[in-house]
Amino acid sequence: MSRLLIGFVALIALFGFGAVNARKGYGPGEQDWGFVDVRKGAHMFYWLYYTTANVSSYTQRPLAIWLQGGPGASSTGYGNFEELGPLQLDGSYREWTWVKDMNVIFIDNPVGSGFSYVDGSAYYTTDNKQIALDLVEFMKEFYVRHPEFKAVPLHIFCESYGGKMAPEFALELYHAIQRREIESNLVSVALGDPWTSPIDSVLSWAPFLLQLGIVDQNGHDKIEAAALKTKNYVDTEKWTMATLQWSATQSVVLRESKGVDFYNVETPTRGDRYLRQLDLMSPEERMYRTLVHFDIDENRDKILSELMRGPVTKALNITTGVKWGAQSSTTFDKQRGDFMKPVVHIVEELLNNTTLKVGVFSGGLDLICATPGAVNWIADMEWNNKKAYLSAPRVGITVDRVLEGYEKTAGNFSMFWVNRSGHMVPADNPQAMSHILRYYTKFG
């Protein structure tokens, strides 16, 4: 066989009708997964779903990264099976999955989340910058394993605490591209119900719940007092104390609201019965449970854990000996001193000094990262197109003659208000999420 023909065959294998590393994993379509050593002793897990769209090459569709929140929640678990992957938690096919339209990478990040693990306590991340640098190292190795994606448009999507991690990750990746340390076609970063300015989220709880009638004026005043204590610690840069007071403020919210769901205020809860269970928890357990767990449905959490530790572990042949999610509470605890720090300045830098599209999408029924808090920190940002944004019209998002939300755009920034959705927009309102996906990726 001539060298020319050999080269042609190789190109077909790489860019043509399949992908070199594609495998059958758990669920439909071709997949790939594995561990990347982002540092000595720090092993990051990813799960790639090649699109199931009718295309001759996977590279005809964009590549989307999904980062979960927490920090410590698992993208390969929660994001995949609860929100946007091809299968739902019960094993049925998800009618609306991102994989139908694009390639999707779920990354268990930071190390210690999901299947990702560390060899010892010294290898956990303790701040946002290290998380971002780990993700850049991950991408360097990902492109070594999947060079066909180097030129494919890359979009970073996230949720919750991902709203802290994703902006800094995008900025560090952008800089690495500019330094020619990595070849990547990074296009956008979109923050879902983001914890980008934690104190703005916390300060929004009392007025939001009062306006909804979930607490009365007395309850509002108690929540506000606890939130202002949190703000005092933030203002004086006592970050660990701010995190502890944030947790205490959550407890006040739960008691005054009789057990509202932080992730969707319209979700039925167990009310005072759950509060009695909350009283039995240690402060550390309460802190972790109220943030990383998406709801108070312990049975659902148990089903997901059994799925990930059983059939998924077996199908993907995970042999590390570290159980899925086993290190996640420690992952969260290691970030305690960084948890309440804002990254609004990072978003400003993305807007002022990069060519990336940047956005925020927020469910109107979310409490933990309530929309009014996001609106406040966005209004306070200093960026090149701020004046144009403030004067820009807010237009409706209409899908199939139904109003699904609103959007506002100026320059390279967009804000999306999502109707009938709590914290998990991809799961709660797929129609609006599809509109947002099309805006950034042209698909969805």
- For residue 103, what are the β-bridge partners? 63
Task: Name the band, by pLDDT with cuts 50, 70 and 90, for residue 15.
Answer: very low
Task: Name the band, by pLDDT with cuts 50, 70 and 90, for residue 269.
Answer: confident
Query: CATH number of the domain that 131 lies in?
Result: 3.40.50.1820
Give the Cβ contact number of residue 167 at 10 Å.
29
Tell me the residue range of the domain where 351 lies.
Answer: 20-194+339-441
Residue written as token pair 């959007």 = 407
Q: Which of 116, 160, 414, 434 is catalytic?
A: 160
The reply to whether 142 and 207 lie within a common domain is no
| Residue 104 maps to a domain | yes
The reply to whether 165 and 228 lie within a common domain is no
Mean of the pLDDT values across residues 94-107? 97
Mean pLDDT over each residue of the chain, to the nearest integer: 92
Based on the residue annotation, tell me whether 160 is a catalytic residue of this protein.
Answer: yes
The reply to whether 85 and 135 lie within a common domain is yes
Q: What is the reported pLDDT for 384?
A: 96
Which of 269, 298, 327 lies at the terminal end of a domain, its last residue?
298
The reply to whether 33 and 121 lie within a common domain is yes
Mean of the pLDDT values across residues 97-126? 97
Q: What is the reported pLDDT for 290?
A: 55
Q: What is the reported pLDDT for 143?
A: 98
Residue 355, burial from CB neighbour count under 10 angstroms (0-12, 13-18, 19+): exposed
Q: Which of 423, 428, 434, 435 is catalytic?
A: 423
Give the Cβ contact number of residue 183 at 10 Å.
13
Please determine, for residue 293, whether its predicted confidence score (pLDDT) is greater than 70. no
| Residue 375 maps to a domain | yes
- Beta-carbon contacts of 238 under 8 Å, excluding residues fewer than 6 positions away, are none
Which of 298, 313, 328 lies at the terminal end of a domain, its last residue?
298
Residue 401: strand, helix, or coil: coil
Cα-to-chain-centroid distance, residue 214? 27
The reply to whether 344 and 204 lie within a common domain is no
The reply to whether 59 and 140 lie within a common domain is yes
Please determine, for residue 280, whether its predicted confidence score (pLDDT) is greater than 70. no
Residue written as token pair 């701010």 = 242
Q: What is the reported pLDDT for 444?
A: 79
| Residue 379 maps to a domain | yes
Based on the residue annotation, tell me whether 366 is a catalytic residue of this protein.
Answer: yes
**Closest by Cα among 125, 161, 337, 376 to 234:** 337
Please determine, for residue 395, whether its predicted confidence score (pLDDT) is greater than 60. yes
| Residue 309 maps to a domain | no
Q: Which of 108, 366, 421, 435 is catalytic?
A: 366
| Residue 155 maps to a domain | yes
**Would strands 30-39 and 63-67 be described as parallel, antiparallel, or unpaired?**
unpaired
Q: What is the widest separation between alpha-carbon atoms in the chain? A: 82
Q: Decide if 72 contacts 331 (C-beta within 8 A).
A: yes
Percent of the chain at pLDDT exceeding 90: 86
The reply to whether 398 and 262 lie within a common domain is no
- Beta-carbon contacts of 50 under 8 Å, excluding residues fewer than 6 positions away, are 19, 22, 29, 30, 31, 32, 58, 99, 103
Please determine, for residue 278, whether its predicted confidence score (pLDDT) is greater than 90. no
- Beta-carbon contacts of 367 under 8 Å, excluding residues fewer than 6 positions away, are 205, 208, 209, 253, 260, 261, 262, 263, 264, 265, 422, 423
Q: Which two tokens stand for residue 174?
A: 């952008």
The reply to whether 261 and 221 lie within a common domain is yes
Mean of the pLDDT values across residues 108-125? 97
Q: What is the pTM of this model?
A: 0.93
Q: How far is CA 141 from CA 57, 144, 146, 150, in A?
A: 22, 5, 8, 11
Q: What is the pLDDT of residues 331-353, one digit of tens each?
A: 999 999 999 999 999 999 999 99
Mean of the pLDDT values across residues 180-203? 98
Based on the residue annotation, tell me whether 235 is a catalytic residue of this protein.
Answer: no
Looking at the 3D structure of the chain, how many domains does it have? Answer: 2
Q: Decide if 397 contacts 405 (C-beta within 8 A).
A: yes
